[in-house]
């Protein structure tokens, strides 16, 4: 489970690049109750999505000619430069070399061998998102990939992940977790593109999941406010009810109303 006690290899940041940050801010305010606070000139226009007094995502305007609107997931590292070297050695690409972000931390952006973008964040004064797993915040990540085995090998080499599996009717869901942790600490999954009818086999990507109180109401609200329901809400036994959405600019993400975790010791 994702928590704010971030470990190396766990998702600790997520941000949105979009051609119209004002429109995006309005959409996510209506969907999740987020308040967008734009950064000053020193931040290059980068701002924060806030839920109450906690930061739940970042965002900035990215011209359409620089790429489609998209959410990007960042994973914690103790050494962004060493991670960049590991990416290159494992067959990935460094898109944005490690750089300091004032005293907040050090970041870098990469692409895995399939061309899927992801980032790393080496914490400084900013230790990561202020809230996760709460309603309106990041709660899970998934990589849609053409080759699960190759992806698992790459991210293990780069982020040290351990790979696990959760059986379900018809197969096994591949999970990922920081090194040295148990299955309960899983922070994401690897999904074969070929098995998902709503995904384009030529567009592997990382998608963030955001926790919601009511999946069906959230999907309906997204559609009413200019977004798209890419996969209608579906219930997963023991997991929750989830849907795949896209915002008005086409940035893909998912939402889930998770089944409450059992109390310690399994008491009723």
The CA radius of gyration of the chain, in Å to the nearest whole number, is: 18
Q: Which fold has domain 138-260?
A: 2,3-Dihydroxybiphenyl 1,2-Dioxygenase; domain 1 (3.10.180)
* Rounded Cα–Cα distance for residues 34 and 43 (Å): 20
Outline where the chain has alpha helix (H): 21-32, 80-89, 148-159, 215-224
Q: How many CA atoms lie within 13 A of 241 on its CB side?
A: 12
Q: E strands within the chain?
A: 11-18, 35-37, 47-51, 54-61, 70-76, 93-101, 105-111, 117-123, 138-145, 162-168, 171-177, 188-192, 205-211, 228-236, 240-246, 252-258
Residue 265, pLDDT score: 56
pLDDT (tens place) for every residue of the chain, 268 residues total: 899 999 999 999 999 999 999 999 999 999 999 999 988 777 678 999 999 999 999 999 999 888 899 999 999 999 999 999 999 999 999 999 999 999 999 999 999 999 999 999 999 999 999 999 999 999 999 999 999 999 999 999 999 999 999 988 878 999 999 999 999 999 999 999 998 889 988 899 999 999 999 999 999 999 999 999 999 999 998 899 999 999 999 999 999 999 987 665 554 4
Q: How far, in Å, CA of 202 to CA of 146, rounded?
A: 8
For the entire predicted model, the pTM comes to 0.95
pLDDT for the residue 263: 61
Q: How far apart are CA 81 and CA 73, in angstroms?
A: 18
Domain 11-123 classified CATH 3.20.20.70?
Answer: no
Measure the CA dihedral 249/253/257/259, to 10°.
Answer: 180
Give the Cα separation of 236 and 139 in Å (integer): 16
List the chain domain ranges. Answer: 11-123, 138-260
Buried-state track 127-155, b at ≥16 Cβ within 10 A, e below 16: bbbbbbebbbbbbbbbbbbebbeebbbbb
- Smallest CA-to-CA distance from 222 within 255, 197, 198, 258 is with 255
- The answer to whether 144 touches 198, Cβ cutoff 8 Å, is no
Tokens representing 145? 């990939």
User: How far is it, in rounded angstroms, from Cα 225 to Cα 58?
Assistant: 21
Domains 11-123 and 138-260 share a fold: yes
């Amino acid at each position: 489970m994702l928590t704010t006690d971030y470990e190396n290899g766990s998702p600790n940041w997520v941000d949105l690049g979009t051609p119209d940050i004002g429109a995006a801010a309005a959409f996510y305010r209506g969907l999740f109750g987020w308040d967008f606070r734009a950064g000053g000139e020193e931040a290059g226009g980068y701002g924060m999505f806030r839920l109450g007094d906690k930061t739940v995502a970042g965002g900035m305007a990215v011209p359409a000619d620089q790429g489609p609107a998209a959410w990007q997931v960042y994973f914690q590292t103790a050494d962004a430069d060493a991670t960049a070297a590991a990416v290159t050695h494992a067959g990935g690409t460094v898109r944005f070399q490690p750089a300091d972000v004032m005293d907040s931390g050090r970041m870098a952006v990469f692409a895995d061998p399939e061309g899927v973008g992801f980032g790393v964040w080496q914490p400084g004064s900013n230790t990561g998102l202020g809230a996760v797993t709460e309603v309106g915040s990041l709660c899970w990540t998934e990589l849609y990939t053409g080759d699960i085995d190759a992806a698992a090998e790459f991210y293990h080499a780069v982020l040290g992940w351990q790979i696990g599996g959760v059986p379900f009717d018809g197969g096994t869901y591949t999970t990922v977790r920081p090194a040295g942790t148990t299955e309960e600490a899983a922070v994401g999954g690897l999904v074969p593109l070929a098995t998902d009818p709503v995904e384009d086999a030529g567009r592997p990507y990382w998608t963030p999941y955001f926790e919601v109180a009511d999946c069906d109401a959230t999907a309906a609200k997204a559609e009413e406010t200019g977004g798209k329901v890419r996969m209608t809400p579906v219930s997963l036994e023991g997991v929750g009810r989830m849907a795949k959405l896209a915002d008005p600019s086409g940035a893909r993400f998912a939402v889930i109303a998770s089944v409450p975790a059992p109390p310690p010791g399994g008491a009723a």
